[in-house]
Amino acid sequence: MRILVVEDEPKLAATLRQGLQEQGYAADIAYDGEEGLALAEIIRYDLIVLDLMLPKLDGVELCRRLRAQRQTVPVLMLTARDAIDDRVKGLDAGADDYLVKPFVLRELLARVRALLRRNSASRDALLRAGDIELDPASREVRRGGIPVMLTSKEYALLEYFMRNPNRVLSRGQIAEHIWGMDFDAVSNVVNVYVCYLRRKLGDHRAPHLLQTIRGVGYQLKAPSA
């Protein structure tokens, strides 16, 4: 899943991105409201963490414009203000939740998970591909009933494949979704992580469940039911 953080305090923005990435999310950062709006208009995010007080365009107006465009992306609004009027303005503009600074990162991550669950009733449904099972609620993976231990990035990669069975995904699509905008296009990180995933899933022998599409990317070849 890909999350946009719109926050003008560089240290806090970096902390939020690191915390989200450690949970397996790809996270992009915008440091002002105009940049945040521009990114949200061209990239389909799963969630936006939005500061209220921003240069160029404040969070309330940014949120209002997104809703005017009929964008339904969940918005978690952050602010140093704790006045009731500020909360009401944010929620009336279309924010889904509100968190007052200073906050504990663990609470923010819990609110992110709750908003993502709320946004898609099917998001927590058990995913299956052949004898592989992935439980988004518990983040547990099993193959043939045996638990498979994955890192956060390996898990995010497998979930992306399992939510797009039989679809050919380019290396660029995978990198953008899992690693976000900072991905180096010439890096072989996608290839490396697919190798990691194959090894842990016992999929290192041909024919692979995760198939390489030469010159394009990869495909999770899900067996017919």
Judge whether 176 and 46 are in contact, CB under 8 Å.
Answer: no
Query: Tell me, what's the pLDDT at 35?
Result: 95
Q: What is the DSSP letter of 79?
A: E
Residue spans of beta strands (DSSP E) within the chain: 2-6, 26-30, 47-51, 75-79, 97-100, 127-129, 132-135, 140-143, 146-147, 168-170, 210-213, 217-220
pLDDT at 180 over 80: no
pLDDT band at residue 186 using 50, 70 and 90 as cut-offs: low
Residue type, 89: K
CB atoms within 10 A of CB 115: 19
Q: What is the mean pLDDT of residues 34-54?
A: 92
171-179 and 189-201 helices cross at what angle (nearest 10)? 80
Taking 80 as the threshold, does the pLDDT of residue 149 lie above it? yes
* CATH 3.40.50.2300 describes domain 2-119: yes
**126 or 87: whose pLDDT is higher?**
126
**pLDDT at residue 123, rounded to an integer:** 55
Instruction: Give the domain ranges of the chain.
Output: 2-119, 127-220
d(CA 14, CA 198): 31
Query: Which among 170, 168, 162 is positioned nearest to 222, based on CA atoms?
Result: 162
- Average pLDDT over the chain, rounded to an integer: 86
* Out of 57-61, 191-195, 197-201, 220-224, least confident range: 220-224
Domains 2-119 and 127-220 share a fold: no
In this predicted structure, what is the pLDDT of residue 203?
81
Report residue 206's pLDDT band, with 50, 70 and 90 as the boundaries. Answer: low
- CATH of 127-220, picked from 3.40.50.720, 1.10.760.10, 1.10.10.10, 3.90.550.10, is 1.10.10.10
In the chain, % of residues over pLDDT 70: 91
Compute CA distances 195 → 10, 87, 144, whole Å.
Answer: 34, 47, 20
pLDDT tens track for 91-142: 888 999 988 888 999 999 999 988 887 766 545 578 888 889 998 877 899 9
